[in-house]
Amino acid sequence: MEARTVTAEDYLKSLDEFTLYKGFASLSDIAHLLNTTRQSAYDEIKILLQKGFVNKQDRGKYVLSSAGQQAANLFLRKHRIAEILLWKGLSMKWEQIDDQAMGIEHGITEDIARAVCQKFGCETCPHGNPVPDIMGNVSEINDLTMDELSPGKSYKISRVIFENREILEFLGQNSLLPGAIVDTDEQNALHGRNCRDAGIPKHIGRALRYLIYEA
């Protein structure tokens, strides 16, 4: 992936994802995900704290404030619509579109957004996440975390709530896209029903949300 400028919106997106994934974001988490230095992450988080977009919890733990979440949603609208355009309009690989959308998301005007939505629909992005409306409002999905799954049951993947290259490549290579069926064994380990791998690693399972599946 070519080097690119990391924006404040990228930080908001990463904070949103890490909060869904593990409940908070650390500076190291953000720096690693955005391929920047810890000092750069600290400098940007400090600005976002001053603007009231970020709250600091315990030492080294950061989450979005309500204002920050609204700002993140406005950016996520552009990012997710860019993903829809790349996937449905240009037939790019599912596991590549998160990275590639980062190159065009800032150029998604509302005119472009409306055109994409009219042609392809914009209820959810290709990774299953709801697309916020023009005001940044978003429909919540009542789905399950990995820790809420029961042993010996079947579930349908609802969405990918944490997107990095390793996770998306594993999911794409094993056909574990939203809508795919997974099963839990008696030890509550996850297995993709049509997955070539023996099982789904826990750190990848935690990056997903699930719906109860009834055949």
Domain boundaries, the chain: 8-64, 70-140, 146-212
Fold of 8-64: Arc Repressor Mutant, subunit A (1.10.10)
| Residue 10: its H or E element | helix 8-22
Residue 29 has pLDDT above 90, yes or no: yes
Reported confidence tier of residue 6, pLDDT bands at 50, 70, 90? confident
Class of domain 146-212: mainly beta
Question: How far apart are alpha carbons 155 and 141 in whole angstroms?
Answer: 15
For 33, residues 6+ apart whose C-beta sits below 8 A from its C-beta are: 14, 17, 18, 164
Provide the CATH number for the domain formed by 70-140 in this structure. 1.10.60.10
Check for a shared fold between 8-64 and 146-212.
Answer: no
Span 94-136, pLDDT tens digits = 999 999 998 899 999 999 999 999 999 999 999 999 999 999 9
pLDDT at 108: 94
Q: What percent of the chain has pLDDT over 90?
A: 83
pLDDT at 70: 95
pTM for this entry: 0.90
